[in-house]
Amino acid sequence: MKRVAVFAHYDVHNTIQDYVVYYIKELQKVAEKIIFVSDSELSEAELSKIEPYIVHSIVQHHGEYDFGSYKLGYQWVKESGLLDNCEEFILANDSCYAPLFSFDEMFSKMSSKKVDFWGVTANPNGIEIINNKPIDNTQKHIQSYFVVFKQSVFNSEVFNNFINSVTKQDMKEKVVAYYEVGLTKLLTLHGFEYDVYCELSKKIIAPHIFAYKRLIIENKCPFVKRSLILFKVSNLVW
């Protein structure tokens, strides 16, 4: 199956870490075209680490989090014509260590499902912004660190208008509310159907935090969030 992926990157030290190189190398086994978009200042030496696995890189500071990089990558892919013969379009970011298992099994299972888009995990709870403050709600949504869209979605005006509307927000919670939660909500309102690879995530709030071991053991989740690992390491008692 012909797949195109946009990979969103950010690193405070302006480097491409080894886990990112490994992730992209493995992703290239299931996505023949990868566009790398970084919100950091990267040297040519850093970019050379991933050069064998990508078709294009965009290095541009925008401050719009992963959806800003998704927007830039999507615009380039659309203008270049790479979507013309694409069957699945992937948005992925560097917030996870992956893959713990080969991507093949996940794609084999999910690509055969009669859905318009899919992700790895869902979160039964979401966020909305009321009076400029983030408020928890019960808006189930796909978590945006890895989402796959079929042609019915990425060729639609709904998706095109949504991704091109991404702008810089003054708090991360707004990014989650408007774009992560907002994407699933918008697409489902327009009749698009979705599913997730990890069934367990449909039942547990923030499963990537509170049930990450079960996701790996029971659902063979190929991802683990970096924030979880870094938090645990930083709180070790030496």
Where does the pLDDT of residue 111 fall: very low under 50, low under 70, confident under 90, or very high at 90 and above? Answer: confident
How do residues 68-99 score in pLDDT, each as one tens digit? 999 999 999 999 999 999 999 999 999 999 99
Tell me the pLDDT of the chain averaged across its residues.
94
Query: What does residue 222 show for φ and ψ, rounded to 5 degrees?
Result: -85, 5
pLDDT greater than 80 at residue 59: yes
Q: What is the pLDDT of residue 234?
A: 39
pTM above 0.75, yes or no: yes
> Tens digits of per-residue pLDDT, 185-223?
999 999 999 999 999 999 888 888 889 999 999 999 999
Helix axes of 157-164 and 182-189: crossing angle, nearest 10 degrees: 160
